[in-house]
């Protein structure tokens, strides 16, 4: 960072040692979290003979619980060492995963999920919204936020594929232990990060700072629709190769954003992304072929990656001075809430109407696109003009 001061026209390095450690930790943390999503509801239904709706509700509590510590975020970050807050939250998050095989009721599963949701909220706030910014040169912070979020998305899909693959061959205990191992590795990587010293500040106990940014409301609502479709797919499709195809689609969307859409408008990215998603969903709705489902996975990965990247950029460019961390944390919260809402909806809906789920997803995508075209896109540019 001192180099940026003395040589302001040299391009600062993005992938420093600290950035690599934080990104790898983020990948492992998301893989650990998302491994449980396909396995936990199935285990609950088979172990306790509860309904899929009850199992989905117990799992989805996680999303609501992420909002519980939010008002204290600013106090935690300004009063205590940021790295220490992250390490304590991560240690408790990993340790609490060990409780899953030993709880006795669906209610206790919901309680563990609620505790983990609160802890995960603190972890994502301290890493993506704080530590990544602290260890990156000021001119590369947008790039760092984008790269860090992409690594998390790859971790999500890798965790889903791994969880679906190993659950039929291992018992649920081994899935839990694998999650704990991945979380422990993520914790060890955070230990190795060198964070610049920040003097503690006196701040109020409650604040929206580093919690929610109302200014990003409309892009956040659009993005929640996208993550709801992703959550529906997670609850509906149990095929590890499908998620590997989504991973391939993510890579394709990165290449498109880098080499094809780098000078295109945000509107073009969202239109292309939704077209790809609708195409993938139509393939799933009209065909039972495995090959077509894999093609659909690639299309869905391309569409999700392209669209969510544009919404993320909007949510970190809208904040005013010193609000970047709050915008980033708003994105994290809204993504998880949208995804788990879709996850819960699928578990409740398909018990009575299993054949309509893809058409519901298509309806969500069409609504998202119309809302973006006629409201969010012009609203965003008005807000950016006011900001300048």
pLDDT score for 5: 38
Structure tokens at 262: 């780098």
pLDDT at 2 over 80: no
CATH fold for domain 13-207:
Growth Hormone; Chain: A; (1.20.1250)
pLDDT score for 364: 97
Look at residues 271, 277, 331 and name the one whose alpha carbon lies nearest to residue 304: 277
Structure tokens at 86: 């992250």
Q: Which phi-psi region, left, alpha or beta, contains residue 126 (left: φ > 0; alpha: ψ -120 to 50)? A: alpha
Q: How far is CA 238 from CA 51, 132, 162, 166, in A?
A: 18, 34, 11, 12
pLDDT at 255 over 50: yes
Res. 3 pLDDT band, cuts 50 70 90: very low
Q: How far is CA 352 from CA 57, 104, 346, 358, in A?
A: 17, 28, 10, 14
Q: How far is CA 339 from CA 32, 62, 333, 335, in A?
A: 16, 11, 10, 6
Res. 229 pLDDT band, cuts 50 70 90: very high
Res. 9 pLDDT band, cuts 50 70 90: very low
Average pLDDT over residues 86-113: 94
pLDDT at 118 over 70: yes
pLDDT score for 200: 67
Rounded Cα distance between 191 and 200, Å, is 20
pLDDT score for 126: 94
| Topology match between the domains 13-207 and 212-388 | yes
List alpha helices for 256-356, DSSP H. Answer: 266-286, 290-317, 324-349
Measure the CA angle with vertex 11, ends 7 and 16; round to 5°: 105
Tens-place pLDDT, residues 263-291: 877 889 999 999 999 999 999 999 889 99
pLDDT score for 1: 39
Measure the CA angle with vertex 380, ends 375 and 386; round to 5°: 130
Average pLDDT over residues 127-138: 90
Tens-place pLDDT, residues 294-340: 999 999 999 999 999 999 999 999 988 778 889 999 999 999 999 99
Inter-axis angle of helices 290-317 and 266-286, to 10 degrees?
150
By CB neighbour count within 10 A (0-12 exposed, 13-18 middle, 19+ buried), where does 267 fall? middle
CATH fold for domain 212-388:
Growth Hormone; Chain: A; (1.20.1250)
| DSSP character string of 337-363 | HHHHHHHHHHHHHTTT-GGGHHHHHHH
pLDDT score for 247: 98
pLDDT at 131 over 70: yes
Tens-place pLDDT, residues 197-213: 776 667 777 888 788 99
What are the residue boundaries of the structural domains of the chain, listed by start? 13-207, 212-388
Average pLDDT over residues 174-196: 95
């Amino acid at each position: 960072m001192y180099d940026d001061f003395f040589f302001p026209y040299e391009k600062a390095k993005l992938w420093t040692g600290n950035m690599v450690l934080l990104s790898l930790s983020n990948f492992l943390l998301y893989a650990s979290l998302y491994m449980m999503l396909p396995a936990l509801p199935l285990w609950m239904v088979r172990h306790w003979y509860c309904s899929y709706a009850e199992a989905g509700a117990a799992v989805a509590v996680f999303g609501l619980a992420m909002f519980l510590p939010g008002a204290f975020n600013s106090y935690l970050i300004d009063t205590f060492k940021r790295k220490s807050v992250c390490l304590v939250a991560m240690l408790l998050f990993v340790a609490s995963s060990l409780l899953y095989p030993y709880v006795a009721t669906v209610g206790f599963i919901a309680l563990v999920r609620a505790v983990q949701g609160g802890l995960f909220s603190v972890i994502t706030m301290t890493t993506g919204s704080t530590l990544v910014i602290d260890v990156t040169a000021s001119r590369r912070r947008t790039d760092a936020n984008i790269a860090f979020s992409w690594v998390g998305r790859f971790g999500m899909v890798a965790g889903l594929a791994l969880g679906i693959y190993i659950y039929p061959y291992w018992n649920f205990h081994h899935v839990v232990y694998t999650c704990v191992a991945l979380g422990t590795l993520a914790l060890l990587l955070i230990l190795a990060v060198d964070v610049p010293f920040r003097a503690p500040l006196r701040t109020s106990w409650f604040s929206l700072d580093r919690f929610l940014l109302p200014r990003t409301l409309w892009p956040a609502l659009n993005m929640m629709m996208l993550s709801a479709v992703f959550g529906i797919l997670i609850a509906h499709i149990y095929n590890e190769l499908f998620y590997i195809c989504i991973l391939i689609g993510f890579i394709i969307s990165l290449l498109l954003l880098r080499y094809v859409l780098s000078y295109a408008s945000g509107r073009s990215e969202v239109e292309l992304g939704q077209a790809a998603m609708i195409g993938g969903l139509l393939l799933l709705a009209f065909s039972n072929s495995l090959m077509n489902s894999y093609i659909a996975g690639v299309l869905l990965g391309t569409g999700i990656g392209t669209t969510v990247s544009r919404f993320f950029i909007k949510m970190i460019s809208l904040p005013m001075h010193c609000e970047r961390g709050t915008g980033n944390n708003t994105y994290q919260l809204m993504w998880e809430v949208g995804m788990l809402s879709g996850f819960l909806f699928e578990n409740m809906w398909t018990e009575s109407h299993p054949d309509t789920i893809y058409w519901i997803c298509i309806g969500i995508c069409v609504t998202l696109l119309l809302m973006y075209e006629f409201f969010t896109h012009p609203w965003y540019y008005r807000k950016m003009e006011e900001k300048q």
